[in-house]
């Protein structure tokens, strides 16, 4: 694996060309996971609505005509559901992610680890909310950025046996940083998705009083010994980024950025750059 101190991902014209082709072929979008979970559901709802409408329109027709109309709607709905899952469903999104990242890693000189049985326990323990089992990681990339070991992964989250939550997906990037036993979390998506973006150890009921900036979109929690220094600086870095709601956590000798959606490699680059920026706040030397 090649070590590269530069944060740019594509170093040569050939690498750029190959990566561009991979990105175009993958057709990943900013809301890929949202559509992957929601589009089949919309088709199912539309099919039910179609059955209701077909039944209402054929109330004056013979029973055989009514049954034929309903059967036609159900057949069309089943075909549309299957096609939607195949084109934009979660499994299709996962295949596109793996294809894009494999091609990118090959062009860039990073290591493509692919599917892994479970996410790193230290990383999962740092960012995982309550009520979820250990994540299944896939589409894993490992390399070096800004002189620090780095990781890009997608996580499949499954609820614990005591929870009724549906499975979901999250995008993870991580870089090494010595945190000396401290930890701080900055959550920019509290109002949108507090249950899934909040690490188990974070308390959203806490109020930072003098530490909280009125103009900030983020909530900060963590070790009081570093909250005024790390917390304020990390929050400023998060506020400066235009991204989907993210949680940024420094602790366990790493900085982790956990996001709701957008598995594109270009977005992973931006999140890695944010992670490196935060890593330099908590560990300026990187040694």
Answer yes or no: is 165 within a domain: yes
Highest mean pLDDT range out of 171-175, 215-219, 265-269?
171-175
Q: What's the rounded Cα separation, in Å, for the pair 34 and 39?
A: 8
C-beta separation of 252 from 201 below 8 A? no
How does DSSP assign the chain, residue by residue?
-----S--S--SHHHHHHHHHHHHHH---TTHHHHHHHHHHHHHHHHHHHHHHHHHHTTTS-HHHHHHHHHHHHHHHHHHHHHHHHHHSHHHHHHHHHHHHHHHHHHHT-EEEE--SS--HHHHHHHPPTTBPPPEEEEEEEEEETTEEEEEEEEEE-B-TT--PPPEEEEEEEEE---TT--EEEES-TTT-HHHHS-TT--TT---GGG--TT---EEEE-HHHIIIIIHHHHHHHHT---SSEEEEEETTEEEEEESS---HHHHHHHHHHHHHHHHHH-SS--
The pTM of this model reads 0.75
pLDDT at 16: 43
Lowest mean pLDDT, pick from 119-128, 161-170, 243-252: 161-170
Q: Which two tokens mark 119?
A: 């996410």
Answer yes or no: is 203 within a domain: yes
Q: Which two tokens mark 256?
A: 């982790």
Burial of 26 (0-12, 13-18, 19+ CB in 10 A): buried
Q: Which domain holds residue 230?
A: 112-282
For residue 179, pLDDT over 70 is answered with yes
Per-residue pLDDT of 34-52, as tens digits, reads 666 767 777 788 888 888 8
Better-scored residue on pLDDT, 77 or 35: 77
pLDDT at 190: 66
Closest CA to 145 of 14, 281, 275: 275
Answer yes or no: is 175 within a domain: yes
pLDDT at 191: 64
Answer yes or no: is 22 within a domain: no
Answer yes or no: is 252 within a domain: yes
pLDDT at 6: 43
pLDDT band at residue 152 using 50, 70 and 90 as cut-offs: very high
Per-residue pLDDT of 225-254, as tens digits, reads 888 889 889 998 988 887 768 899 999 999
pLDDT at 38: 66
Answer yes or no: is 206 within a domain: yes
pLDDT band at residue 194 using 50, 70 and 90 as cut-offs: low
State the average pLDDT for the chain: 79
Answer yes or no: is 105 within a domain: no
For residue 20, pLDDT over 60 is answered with no
Structurally, the chain folds into a number of domains equal to 1
Answer yes or no: is 157 within a domain: yes
For residue 216, pLDDT over 90 is answered with no
Per-residue pLDDT of 23-37, as tens digits, reads 444 576 667 666 667
Q: Mean pLDDT, to the nearest integer, of 253-263?
A: 87
């Amino acid at each position: 694996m090649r070590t590269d101190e530069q944060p740019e991902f594509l170093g040569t014209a050939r690498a750029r060309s190959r990566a561009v082709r991979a990105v175009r072929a993958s057709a990943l979008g900013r809301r890929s996971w949202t559509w992957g979970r929601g589009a089949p559901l919309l088709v199912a709802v539309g099919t039910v609505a179609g059955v209701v409408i077909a039944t209402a329109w054929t109330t004056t027709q013979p029973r055989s005509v009514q049954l034929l109309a309903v059967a036609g709607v159900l057949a069309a709905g089943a075909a549309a559901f299957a096609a939607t899952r195949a084109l934009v469903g979660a499994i299709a999104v996962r295949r596109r992610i793996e294809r894009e990242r494999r091609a990118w890693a090959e062009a860039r000189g990073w290591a493509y680890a692919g599917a892994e049985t479970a996410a790193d326990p230290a990383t999962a323990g740092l960012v995982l909310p309550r009520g979820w089992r250990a994540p299944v990681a896939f589409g894993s990339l490992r390399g070096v950025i800004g002189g620090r070991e780095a990781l890009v992964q997608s996580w499949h989250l499954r609820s614990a046996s005591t929870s009724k939550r549906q499975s979901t997906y999250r995008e993870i990037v991580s870089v090494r940083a010595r945190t000396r036993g401290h930890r701080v979390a900055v959550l920019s998506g509290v109002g949108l998705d507090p249950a899934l973006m909040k690490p188990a150890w974070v308390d959203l009921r806490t109020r930072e009083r003098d530490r909280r900036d009125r103009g900030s979109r983020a909530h900060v929690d963590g070790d009081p010994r570093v909250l005024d220094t790390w917390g304020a600086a990390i929050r400023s870095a998060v506020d400066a980024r235009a991204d989907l709601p993210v949680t940024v956590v420094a602790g366990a000798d790493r900085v982790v950025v956990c996001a709701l959606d957008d598995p594109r490699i270009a977005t992973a680059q931006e999140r890695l750059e944010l992670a490196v920026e935060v890593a330099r706040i908590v560990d300026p030397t990187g040694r």
